[in-house]
Chains A and B, each alone.
Chain A
Amino acid sequence: MISRKVTNMTTAKTKTRLNIGHEPKAFEKKNVWNVEEITALLDEENGTLDPRIYSDQDLYELEQERVFGRSWIMLGHEAHVPKAGDFLTAYMGEDPVILVRQKDRSLKVFLNQCPHRGMRICRTDGGNAKSFTCSYHGWAYDIGGNLVNVPYESEAFCEDFNKAEWGPGQARVETYKGLIFANWDKNAPNLREYLGDATFYMDHMLDRTEAGTEVISGMQKWVIPCNWKFAAEQFCSDMYHAGTVSHLSGIEAGLPEGMELSDAKIPTVGYQFRAKWGGHGTGFYVGEPGMLVAIMGPKIAKYWTEGEAAARAERRLGSAERARQLMVQHMTVFPTCSFLPGINTVRTWQPRGPNETEIWAFTVVDADAPDEIKEEYRRQTLRTFSAGGVFEQDDGENWVEIQAVLRGHQARKRRLNIQMGKGRSAADNPHYPGSIGYVYNEEAARGLYHQWIRMMTEPDWDTLGPK
């Protein structure tokens, strides 16, 4: 029997908030896990992790407020909503939101909930809108989320009813080179500060050309019965599974004609990055494009490493190595934005309870890439990294089985090993910012959980924020 002390670090007064602007100097949700217990989930010094971080319902509830209520969450790409009124419905944690392009080209993100009786305002995946009208009683909002019409307002409502106070909560919206992020917390650092030294690595995909990136139209969604952190952690920190056994059959599936499995040499040189602050992480091989050929085929590998586009990327990134030789890079921007530069799949892991995650995935391409290359990116990413992808199929298999095993008491009791690379990374690489170690490493995973713990235990950005 586990007893959990109830601390009262949560004493925020609940005054009516007409415009959401979350200010958690203290957390709102009653804390059934105290600070010491949450902090003990990760033991960085010894390299162990308490598996309940993946399975506990109470932690999950706290996460919704403390992590998803305060982090920058990636919702999509600017090219998803090019014209005024173009919108996508998306999620920030479990909260549904509407992302809309405004007439002045800015972006708005607001809660997809009518503050009248709580109905979902918009029930479609996207489109172009002149307004959003709740289909319950007809409260209508303009594309900025302002309540503009209430049926029978003058006849039926009361004197102190003020439409201006009853729009859905607005989130902050900022973009980084095409990717759109939103944050409920008005005290959170701005997006650039939040991303910190991670932008250096994001640019490997997002800034290869002055034209920037665009998207292959369409968002693929599927459900994996596992905790979101398995996915976020793997993209943050786990080249190990790719270089060992998880994806052997994926490589086999992608071998171009005339190429043998033995030709697809798995590299042994590479680095992993742990952000100085923020929980972001990435890793990549350095060397020949054999793995990229096996995953994305020769056309993409050639585009990425040779020719005019690669030369331009080299000029922009200021490094031949960064532009042409970093292979199968994996990356997570804390908490749930993950992508693979070179393969160019981008996704948000949407939490759906401690035991379930929805994946929302799309593909980006250089905006000025030849049509043939864009088409090849489309075909190859959906062949490799998608619900039916020959690589991603096997990820789903691993995470589902871990989650199923975690139903067991013994399985939850035994701390997991997260020791790889412990004490071997350092912030002294002349070419790569952040803490850098060998490509097979769990330093970035430790960084992700470290940030998660800080967000779960520190209510004030004065202590939590990047210095």
Chain B
Amino acid sequence: MLKEKVGPESSASQISTAALLLQHEVEQFYYKESLLLDRHEFNDWFDLLDKDIRYFMPLRTNRTRRDQKLEYSKDGEYAHFDDDLVMMRGRQRKLMSDVGWSESPASRTRHIIANVIINDASDDQEVHVTSSFILYRNRLERQVDIFAGERMDVLRRSDNKLGFMIAKRTIHIDQSTILSNNLSIFF
């Protein structure tokens, strides 16, 4: 239900220079975005969230093949995250406060973004992108968490330094039981 179709159909000969450039731009955006998180430049990262952001991570359940359509929780059901900008700004205040114990001392993270596929760029202001992530977290003396999954983003053209704002982010995490004591980091 949440899955967007994978990739526009195109053969090598049809790829335009514009498409190549866009692919490059989007990938560079992701690399720089990741660096903001991994270098703890959180205020700059939160500034990338557009005013109508939906930051959404549904639950993922174990189902038979026949019930596969029920694997992800839907709108109106419980989720790991389902935040708008007001809620995300609250998370920012927590993160930047002196008493946000779950991230003070801060986690060390590394966001690896790959498999970047532009699904729809027909609107010249918005790009629909699917990508895969590996998020490594190391925290305090010896806590290690590894999260993997897929992100489905709507990026919106912007004149900020990175060229885009994040208008929608849906995260499909590859765990049903979250194998970590909390999700105090961002995906």
Q: Which residues of A contact B (CB under 8 A)?
A: 123-127, 216-226, 245-246, 248-250, 252-255, 257, 358, 362-363, 375, 378-379, 382-383, 386-388, 390, 392-394, 396-401, 404
A221 and B77 contact, Cβ closer than 8 Å, known pairs A127-B63, A250-B94, A382-B82: no
Q: List, in ascending order, chain A residues with CB within 8 A of B93's CB.
A: 249, 252-253, 255
Main secondary structure of the interface of A (DSSP, over half): mixed
A220 to B180, CA, bound (A): 13
Complex contact B184–A393 (CB within 8 A): yes
On chain A, the residues within 8 Å of B23 by CB distance are: none
Instruction: Report the Cα distance A323→B79, complex, angstroms.
Output: 29
Chain B residues lying within 8 Å of A358, measured Cβ to Cβ, are: 177
Number of CB contacts from chain A to chain B under 8 A: 132
Per the bound structure, the CA–CA distance linking A448 and B178 in Å amounts to 28
Contact assessment for A220 and B80 in the assembled complex, using a CB-CB cutoff below 8 Å: yes
Interface residues in B54-92 by Cβ distance below 8 A to A read: 57, 59, 61-64, 67, 70, 73, 76-83, 86-87, 90-91
A126, A223, A245: the one contacting B61 at CB < 8 Å is A126
Q: Which residue of B77, B87, B102, B178 is within 8 Å of A383 (Cβ)?
A: B87
- The answer to whether A387 and B90 touch (CB under 8 A), given A124-B62, A223-B178, A394-B102, is no
With a cutoff of 8 Å between Cβ atoms, the chain A residues found around residue B179 in the complex are 222-223
- Please give the number of chain B residues whose Cβ is less than 8 angstroms from any Cβ of chain A in the complex: 41
Q: Are B83 and A253 in contact (CB under 8 A)?
A: no
Q: Looking across the interface, which residue of chain B has its beta carbon closest to that of A257?
A: B86
Asked whether A217 lies within 8 Å of B73 as measured between CB atoms, the reply is yes
Q: Kindly identify, within residues 88 to 147 of chain B, every residue whose CB is under 8 Å from any CB belonging to chain A.
A: 90-91, 93-94, 97, 99-103, 140-141, 143
A58 to B62, CA, bound (A): 32
Tell me if A387 and B183 are in contact (CB < 8 A): yes
Min CB–CB distance B118 → chain A (angstroms) = 28
Give complex CA distance A226, B179 in Å.
Answer: 13
Residue B13 interfacial (CB < 8 Å):
no
A378–B78 contact, CB under 8 A? yes
- In the complex, the chain A residue whose C-beta lies closest to that of B104 is A249
A401 to B143, CA, bound (A): 11
CB distance from A353 to the nearest CB of B (A): 14
Instruction: Please state if B102 and A362 are interface contacts (CB–CB under 8 Å).
Output: no
Q: What's the least CB distance linking A57 to chain B, in Å?
A: 21
Chain B positions 153-187 with a Cβ under 8 Å from a chain A Cβ: 176-184
A381, chain B: closest CB distance, angstroms: 8
Of the residues B59, B100, B101, contact of A220 by C-beta under 8 Å: B59
Which residues of chain B come closer than 8 Å to A383, judged between CB atoms?
Answer: 83, 87, 90
Cα separation A392 to B181 with both chains bound (whole Å) = 10
Chain B residue at minimum C-beta to C-beta distance from A390 = B94
Q: Report whether B91 and A390 are in contact in the complex, using a CB–CB cutoff of 8 Å.
A: yes
